[in-house]
Every structure is written in C-alpha cells, then in structure tokens.
Amino acid sequence: MDQRFLFITGMPRAGTTLLTFLMNYFENTYVYSDTEYHPMSFASMVRHPGLFVLKQPYGYFEEFKPEYTYADILKRPNWKIISLIRDPRDVLVSRHASDKSRYWVPFKVIPRVTREHLKHYDDPRVFRFKYEELVTGTQEVLDSIAYFIQRSYHPDWADFHKHWKVSNSRMSMALNGPRPIDPSNIGNWKKEEHSERLAEIMADDEIRQCIVNLGYKSNGE
C-alpha cells in the first residue's frame, strides 16, 4: 500500500496554517487540518493509500510533548517535510486573533526553529521557503511544491477563502477565518506601535544572529 506523508512545520505565524489550507487543492491528497496530530503516531491511524498532509501540532516548539525533530521524522522513508520561516521580527511582534492584548510568540522559539530549519540542507525530502515568498509569489511556491510532491493542483486555489467551510477550529481561527492572501503585513515590525518590542528583539544577540542566518537584513531594512 503506497502511503506518503507530508509534514508542514516551521515558525509560528509563518504561513503553516495558510499552506495547509492550500494543500486541499492538490490532487489525491488527504489534508488533516481541523485536528492537530503528533506526526510520530499519525501513520498508524490511516488505512488506505495516498498522500497525507498534516501540520505541526500547536506548541510544537514550546510545550507539545514528546518533542521531536526533523531528523526523527526523516527516519521514516515515506515522509517529507515543508519548513517555513519568516522574518523573526515579524514573528515576534505578531498578535493572534484570539488574544490581541499580547505578543504571541516567545523569544525562545526562534533559535530552535532556526536550527531545525537550517539542518538537513542537502536532504531532498526537506523543502524550505519563506512566508514572504508564500504571500507575494504564491503561484511560484505552489509550482515548486507540486514538483516536490509530484502532484498537480487545481487552478481555483486563489479562491480558497470562498470555498472553505468556516468553522470554529483552531486552524480557521488562526487565519481569522479564511480570507484572501494579503502580503501587507510583511514588515509589521517597523510600525511605531512595536518599537519597544523591537528594541527587546534587537537587544537579544541570539535572535539577531538568527535574523542573519535566515537571510534577513538586521540593519533596519
């Protein structure tokens, strides 16, 4: 029985939820989006062939236990990983729709995700890209994913927000409800309202190094 698995992971607030929604447009895929599964036990749950897509569980890099790494997943030959990152400054000034009174992502998440994202760089089963690429060049990203998983996708993907059934699931809430892809929040960290938070971010040597290692400019551009 031909079963393959695609694990979408990376930074919080970096488009993993959006991409999981979009994966519904790929042919012969089964997307598990309303419930968050632990990847190390997921394979035992399915009983038919196909490509199964799941997203990292809530708290993957914080409190979800037991912890696991990309290497743990890649030990299984029928698994692939898509790893997304975003400018750490935008991640760290992000607020979630469920609680706009606080910043959502703790500093400690950034170094761990950065390390995982940059590992296994030569492994053909790991596909990496940036949130900024996803929201400004979605078509190109989907084309690359299609090649990566050897699946075509339906051309109506851009209307995903019209077709998706609105629910109270954590996935839907994470997007503030399905809506058109909007690149306008790139560079939110530059807004005056985040100036104090940004000062804390840039005072952290480890975070600053992550910004550089991930290919973002740390000089205010």
- Dump the DSSP string for 98-164: TBTTS--S-TTHHHHHHHHHHSSTT-TTEEEEEHHHHHHSHHHHHHHHHHHHT--B-GGGGGHHHHS
Domain of residue 101 covers 3-213
Residue 168's pLDDT band (cuts 50, 70, 90): very low
Per residue in 123-164, pLDDT (tens digit) is 999 999 999 999 999 999 999 999 999 999 999 888 877 766
Query: What is the C-alpha separation between 58 and 38, in angstroms, rounded?
Result: 10
Look at residue 206 and tell me if it is in a domain: yes
Number of helices followed by number of strands (H, E) in the chain: 11, 5
Look at residue 221 and tell me if it is in a domain: no
DSSP-derived 3-state class of residue 83: strand
Rounded to an integer, the average pLDDT of 40-48 is 81
Q: pLDDT averaged over the chain? A: 85
Per residue in 52-67, pLDDT (tens digit) is 999 887 555 555 555 6
Look at residue 219 and tell me if it is in a domain: no
- The total number of structural domains in the chain stands at 1
Look at residue 137 and tell me if it is in a domain: yes
Look at residue 46 and tell me if it is in a domain: yes
Phi, psi torsion values for 174, nearest 5 degrees: -65, -25
Look at residue 189 and tell me if it is in a domain: yes
pLDDT of 66 reads 53
Per residue in 64-99, pLDDT (tens digit) is 555 678 998 999 999 999 999 999 999 999 987 666
State pTM to two decimals: 0.88
* CATH number where 166 lies: 3.40.50.300
pLDDT at residue 32 is higher than 90: no
Look at residue 75 and tell me if it is in a domain: yes
